Amino acid sequence: MAHSRTIQIETIIRRADRMITQGTKTSALFTRWRLAIFLIGLICTVTFYKLNWYHSGNLSVGVFLAIFITVAAYHNKVETQIHRLRQWKHIKQTHLARIALDWKNIPTRSTDGPGSHPYAADLDLFGLHSLTHLLDTTISDQGRERLYSWLLNQPPPPTQWRRRHALVKELTARPLLRDRLTLDAKLTGDQEINGKRLAAVIEHRLGLPHLNTILVVQALLASTTIGLGLATLFGLLPGYWMFSFAAYVLIYFMTDQGEELLEHAVGLYHETERLATVLGSIERYAARRETSLATTWTTLIGRVSPTQQLRDAAHTLHAISIKAHPLVHLTINAVGPWDLWFLRRLIHTQDRIRQALPQWLDALAEVEAASALATFAYLHPDYIWPTPLTTPEEQQELPPTIRASRLAHPLLSPRTRIANDVQLAELGSIYLITGSNMSGKSTFLRTIGINLCLAQAGAPVCADSFEWTWSRLACCIRVDDSLDAGLSFFYAEVKRLKTILDATKERTVPPVLFLIDEIFKGTNNRERLIGSQAYITALSTGQGFGLVSTHDLELADLEQVIPRLRNAHFQETVLDGALTFDYQLRPGPCPTTNALRIMELEGLPISPTHHNRAQ
């Protein structure tokens, strides 16, 4: 299925290439036509004037200018379409990169993620080659933050998850709409829509005392000047217009907003136009009733259309931006109070959209985040939609459960990743995972965690089947020492493990799924064994369930003491003097170790008494 999706997208790219090639040829033809029209028009016009055929020359200028303008307009349309096709092709090429995990061709944002989080760093949610690097197709800062919040704040309320899940599934079947949003945003600018900046500019209200009165006075003075000027022109009155015009100019310079008004217009215009374009695309689709998008849009926006209000605002701002052209600006303001009129309209626009803007941005963020997950689902049609296990009354009375078949890691290539089955049920159930170095223990823990994170965000998962109950994720897989905080590696690990244990004592919230890799690896063997036995025993009595990996084979004996603890392992084989791994989870404790073998294969000395063991 994934291969067929790749073929489908490659077909679209080839079609776009053909259209771009044809468009380029057409553009070149228009260029030649424009040159020919200019030269022929110039020769004809000059010839007519040389022959003193002035009427014919004037007619020639008008005809050839009209033809040139018409051809230029069509040429511009062709160039615009070529640019649009190139952007569309780039979007499709990025889709292929996401399917193939071609990280260098997937756009990324420099986001490090939250400083301290129960699982973000452990599951590679942020940074290069991360889950958000793969998922993030958002076009605004608030859309990006909404997507991140879905991944970081889990589990969501079941009713909220169902609405989100329905929206994601609906958008999965609408690739044209999703790509159209991205295309519209790209065509209006390379930067993401900055909702915070737009809101800040809207909140900064320009004001001029007695604006309405000044506007009326200036309008009267301008009308008087025009009337007196016409009277002077026709010889009816002397130059009285200069007096009214002088008063008009004096008031103009006393009330001129200058650079502040221009900066305000430039700051708002581009963002407003982009937001109007994107919201317009969503609004047209949301006009269809009985869809999840229509329901979401109406719930967040209401019945008032934001698109027309934003377009009105964009027109006002565009009119104000004429201040960037001093000669034209002064000419227009000499005729009438242009700046004052549009300043008044701008103030009214700000008042009108100030309250509604947060709702519009919130609705856009919701659609963007859902669209990102929908694109992920569309590009991976072999992934499945997970099933939450809940009672009809939405109560957490079912035992905590994760059941998955052929579960694999979505950030690993399909050619290399290995799938395993997972079945965890009941509070206190623990899988103790033993195994050799590099055998796949850490990856297996991350596979479970990242797929649960996707499921609870509303996305599909990399598995053949996946059922779960709502769970709080807590991991201790990647622990770093902190020089700034003065923490050693071992102490940082202890603090993480204490946080997980404390979380399992909370009884009024969903249970904890804990994923702990190489427990107490920062201390010596004897103390690690004692601490691990006590810690795992405490975990088995709390409001949680999960997996713990370890190198300490002695911990396998806990299966005799803790009723719901089960041993499982990964192992290696030695073939032609080299270690090989199949990354398959097997029941029971690991029967082999490989540390001495790895040391020997890399040429490090080992004790002669242990040589036979390494064999």
Looking at residue 587, what is its pLDDT?
92
Q: Which of 79, 100, 121 is the last residue of a domain?
A: 100
- Answer whether 126's CB lies under 8 Å from 149's CB: no
Helix (H) or strand (E) holding 402: strand 401-407
**Which are the contacts of 441, defined by CB distance < 8 A and separation ≥ 6?**
433, 434, 435, 517, 518, 549, 570
In angstroms, the CA 547 to CA 471 distance is 14
In a domain, 59, yes or no: yes
pLDDT at 110: 65
Q: Within a domain: residue 71?
A: yes
Q: What is the pLDDT of residues 188-205, one digit of tens each?
A: 777 788 887 777 777 777
Instruction: Specify if 236 maps to a domain.
Output: no
In the prediction, which pLDDT does 241 show? 84
What is the pairing mode between strands 420-425 and 578-581? unpaired
Q: Do residue 590 and residue 485 come from a single domain?
A: yes
Among 100, 134, 150, where does a domain finish?
Answer: 100
Indicate if 204 and 310 belong to the same structural domain: yes
Residue 353 and residue 313 in contact, taking contact as beta carbons nearer than 8 Å: yes
Q: Are 539 and 555 in contact (CB under 8 A)?
A: no
Report the C-alpha gap between 503 and 180 in whole angstroms: 43
My answer on whether 351 and 394 are in the same domain is no
β-pairing verdict for 387-388 and 465-468: parallel
- How big is the CA angle at 124 (ends 122 and 130), to the nearest 5 degrees? 180
Structural domain containing residue 279: 185-208+257-371
Same domain membership, residue 599 and residue 526: yes
Do 441 and 309 share a structural domain?
no
Same domain, 407 and 521: yes
Identify the residue whose tokens are 């249970």. 511
Residue 277 in any domain: the answer is yes
**CATH number (domain holding residue 394):** 3.40.50.300
- 504 with 544, same domain? yes
Evaluate whether residue 584 is within a structural domain.
Answer: yes
Number of structural domains the chain divides into? 3
pTM: 0.85
Taking only the tens place, the pLDDT of each residue in 249-306 is: 898 888 776 666 666 666 677 777 788 888 888 888 877 767 888 888 777 776 667 8
Q: Among 377, 402, 408, which residue's Cα sits nearest to residue 388?
A: 402
Contact 528, 521 (CB under 8 A): yes
pLDDT of residue 484: 44
> What is the Cα–Cα distance from 22 to 12, expressed in whole angstroms?
15
Q: Does residue 600 share a domain with residue 555?
A: yes
Do 347 and 490 reside in the same domain of the chain? no
**Nearest residue to 194 via CA among 147, 148, 139:** 139
Is 382 a member of any domain? no
DSSP structure string for 206-250: ---TTHHHHHHHHHHHHHHHHHHHHHHHTTSS-STHHHHHHHHHH
Task: Show which of 326, 344, 371 is a domain's final residue.
Answer: 371
Do residues 43 and 94 both lie within one domain?
Answer: yes
Query: Coil, strand, or helix at residue 154?
Result: coil
Residue 529: inside a domain, yes or no? yes
Name residues whose C-beta falls within 8 Å of residue 391's C-beta, 6 or more positions apart in sequence: 397, 398
Same domain? For 329 and 191 the reply is: yes
Q: Does residue 12 fall inside a structural domain?
A: yes
What is the mean pLDDT for each group of 10 consecutive residues in the chain (615 residues)?
85 94 94 93 90 88 92 93 94 95 87 82 92 93 93 92 93 92 84 80 74 87 89 84 88 75 68 82 77 79 75 78 79 85 82 82 92 96 92 65 95 92 91 86 94 96 95 88 57 89 90 92 82 92 93 89 92 72 88 63 61 48
Q: Note whether 339 and 434 are same-domain residues.
A: no
